[in-house]
Structure 1
Amino acid sequence: MTTISSSWLGLPRPALLGLFLFFCAGFADGALVPFFPLWASSEADIPIGAIGLLFGCYAGGELVAAPLIGGVADRVGRRPVLILSSLGVGCGFLALFFIHGFAATAIVLILTGMCESVLHPTILTAIADVTEPSAHPRWFGMARVSSSAGQILGPACGALLALLSLSTVFLAAGGMLILGGVVMLAALGETIGSRRVGDRQEEEEEEGLSALLPALRDGRLAKLLLWVVLFEISGNWIEAVIPLYARDAGTLSPSGVGALFAYAAALTVGLQMLVSRFAGARSALWLTAGAGLSTIAAFVLLMASPATLSLIAAVSLCSMAQMLVGPLVPTAVNALAPAARRASYMAASSVAVDLKDSLGPSIGTALYALAPRLPWAAGIPLVAIASVGLGLAIGRARQVSGPATAEACFDAEAARPETPAAWSTGPAMEEYS
């Protein structure tokens, strides 16, 4: 235990705090997302076809804000952005407990989404600031593990709170992110200072919208993110549609839905690093094709039956797909980004996630309103095409960006430093940055 403790103490504090904030965000998502459709349809009396519009309001706030403030962490620093965005999202979730009606809910979700637009990309940027590029795949994999650990406790906590009232899950989700903001305020130091002075000068020369939306001027990134959006839209239907699908079929109660998604998160916690190590020797196309086949198999199971075993197998397969693809995308985006534009590039990649979070639930719930099995039938060809395109785009990004993003970068064993001190932010690390 002493050895383990000293090893963790030797790791860069901003990266560890970033993992903690990912845990808080994962807890909030896990406590909120599985129960939001049930709350909207039962307690808020919102039609099923309109639930996706509320999801779209949250993601729409992110889409509106990302072009304007997505790269703000490159100019004012990572620390203030993480503190304010955590507190803003937390207060937004708390506000959902007190409001009623479609219009008020939509306004709060838009404002909350604007705060959230910079949260995840800035966490990843702060981690990238203080770790070596060869270690990024492993750190991004650990970020997914931390988020999934929160998504175990979040649905479990939500399942208990749902026994009282579905709206109480908003209190748990908001409280956890406010806690994360307070911890960042007390313990996080600024990481932007590790960059070179020349990069700062370049940053000062490149202000404006073009600097905040690198996808407009980097065709490689734009193509990559296009395939990310297409691949993730249908995968998002699992999360958005299954609560309604299971309830209407009489398969699971709201608490059962929470337990199902907690189980899916537990799979990621237990297997993500093992899958990342296995994936290190595989090509991007091999990994995305495997993720696509796993998602298609999940859709086939859901089309066949809404039984409990089918639901468990489906979320297991989708979790495996995300474990294969999840660390690839931020690693590829970070490899394409200039050192002075890391936060801007990560913010551009978050736009792709925001589009998925907006279009996914909207399209999925609309298709479900037409026919319960239509989302699964429509998702099969979409996933098949998108998985191949995504793999080819990531492969081209590796080739263009040079040896720093070669397949060896994805080898977890090769990326592991000999000593924990190799991950610290000493003079050598600053010189490299």
Structure 2
Amino acid sequence: MANKKSLPILMLVMFLVMVGFGIIIPVMPFFAEEVGASPMQLGLLMASYSVMQFLFAPMWGRISDRIGRKPVMLIGIAGLSLSFFLFAFSDTLTMMFVSRILAGFLSSANMPTVMAYVADITTPENRGKGMGMIGASVGMGFIFGPAIGGIFSRESYSTPFLIAGVVAAITFVFVLLVVKESLAKENRKTKGEANESRWKAFGGSLSYLYMLSLITTFSLAALEATFAYFAAERAGLDTVHLGYIFMIMGVAGAFVQGGMVGRLIKKFGEGGTLQIGLIVSAIGFGLVLLTNSFWTAALYLSVFGMGNSLIRPCVSAIISKRTTVGQGAATGLLSSFESLGRVAGPPIGGAIYAVQMSSPYLTGLVATVVALVLYRMYVSKVPGKAV
């Protein structure tokens, strides 16, 4: 059986998964345009992945509560590899949609199952730190992946997808041979218990935390979708400089999740650290409005990113400690709410940006304050300690 020593192995797994995923980010829009996709079709293509994640992450979480974490992880990684290869050989928009829908359906098994695995192998005191370390590995994968994809896209648009498929296939073999199961058979749910948990996971005071996660993810997605236009208008920044800015933001967030989350939780608890993250994120949204150069953009986005990087590990840890259903069901529902935020954020952010360019960041600031209120409402419903 797995133990806490499995955490570094799990971090490597998620790093490899996210490197593969990140490789395709800078290339997919151009590849889709090459086969004739319109801007609206490109938006639908990119949204299809998150929609499938929203729909099916809770299902995979519940399945992992029934059959164990490792087989579900293998399904998710195999599906990701298959979808990358399918996209690489796509010569029609229909094939691309099939690939992205397949990727969203199967790879939605990865994040909730990994977070449930962390909950299985960590003590309540160390859970937030463990969630943060996984978040850091995810962040580092997103930093290196797009850079690799950009380099290999010079050969052809399909090459990064082939590389991503190979990386995912290697990760599958690694998980198959090295990762141990974390959920003992005696702790697994029956089919009836797992199906019942879908209604229980959102119940009670934890519903405030799921809504908090939805709001903060929505705000982040709206910023990511519009900041390129904002920075170009305010500071004349091009795509190369924007790539550097988001890389700096990613490094800052990964540093916080990997090195500071555990220390902050030890000092302030998950609830206190979550509130610090929300306050710093709100400040970051306000600072973004003052962007006027490359360095101010990098600094202000890094402030936002550091605050935002505190939120998910703390929310995940609190939910995993207080949920009355299986860890997979709880983390699956959390992933589903985050996916909904990623679906809604870009189109709504773009729409309000078109009305007034500062709107997505003012909205994000207000939404983050609302998230802080939701947390205080959660605390008011919990007897004794909030976490």
Q: Is the 8 A contact 2:73 2:110 kept in 1?
A: yes
What is the CA–CA distance in structure 1 between the aligned matches of 2:181 and 2:136, rounded to whole Å? Answer: 24
Range that drifts further, 137-146 or 151-160: 151-160
Cα gap change, 1:251 to 1:382, in 2 (>3 Å)? closer
1:161-310 equivalences under 5 Å are 161-193=152-184, 197=186, 200=188, 203=190, 205-208=192-195, 210-216=196-202, 218-242=203-227, 251-253=237-239, 257-276=242-261, 277-278=263-264, 280-281=267-268, 282=272, 284-298=274-288, 300-301=289-290, 308-310=294-296
What is the CA–CA distance in structure 2 between the aligned matches of 1:159 and 1:257, rounded to whole Å? Answer: 14
Aligned to 2:84: 93
Where structure 2 has 5 or more consecutive residues not aligned to the other structure, the ranges are: none
Report the alpha carbon displacement of residue 163 of structure 1 after superposing the two structures with TM.
Answer: 2.9
Report the alpha carbon displacement of residue 65 of structure 1 after superposing the two structures with TM.
Answer: 1.9
Cα gap change, 1:223 to 1:405, in 2 (>3 Å)? closer
Where structure 1 has 5 or more consecutive residues not aligned to the other structure, the ranges are: 1-9, 407-433
What is the CA–CA distance in structure 1 between the aligned matches of 2:84 and 2:328, rounded to whole Å? Answer: 25
1:379-418 equivalences under 5 Å are 379-395=360-376, 397=378, 406=387
Q: 2:48 aligns with which of 38, 57, 62?
A: 57
Cα gap change, 1:56 to 1:134, in 2 (>3 Å)? same
1:138 matched to 2:125? The reply is: no
Cα gap change, 1:66 to 1:145, in 2 (>3 Å)? closer
Amino acid at match of 1:385: V
Deviations 1:167-208 (CA, angstroms, capped at 9, x unpaired): 433233333222221111111121110x7x4x54x6455242
Deviations 1:272-324 (CA, angstroms, capped at 9, x unpaired): 344423464246434312212213322x145xx5x534542343233223223
What is the CA–CA distance in structure 2 between the aligned matches of 1:149 and 1:60, rounded to whole Å? Answer: 24
Aligned to 2:319: 333
Q: What value does the CA root-mean-square deviation take over the aligned residues? A: 3.1
Aligned to 1:6: none
Aligned to 2:334: 349
The alignment partner of 1:219 has SS state of: coil
The alignment partner of 1:206 has SS state of: helix
What is the CA–CA distance in structure 1 between the aligned matches of 2:19 and 2:338, rounded to whole Å? Answer: 18
The alignment partner of 1:24 has SS state of: helix
Amino acid at match of 1:297: L
The TM-score normalised by the length of structure 2 is 0.85
Cα gap change, 1:182 to 1:258, in 2 (>3 Å)? farther
Aligned to 1:17: 9
Cα gap change, 1:48 to 1:19, in 2 (>3 Å)? same
Report the alpha carbon displacement of residue 364 of structure 1 after superposing the two structures with TM.
Answer: 3.6
Residue correspondences, number:
380
What is the CA–CA distance in structure 1 between the aligned matches of 2:115 and 2:374, rounded to whole Å? Answer: 21
Amino acid at match of 1:183: F
The TM-score normalised by the length of structure 1 is 0.77
Percent identity reads 22
Amino acid at match of 2:278: T
Report the alpha carbon displacement of residue 244 of structure 1 after superposing the two structures with TM.
Answer: 6.5
Aligned to 1:378: 359
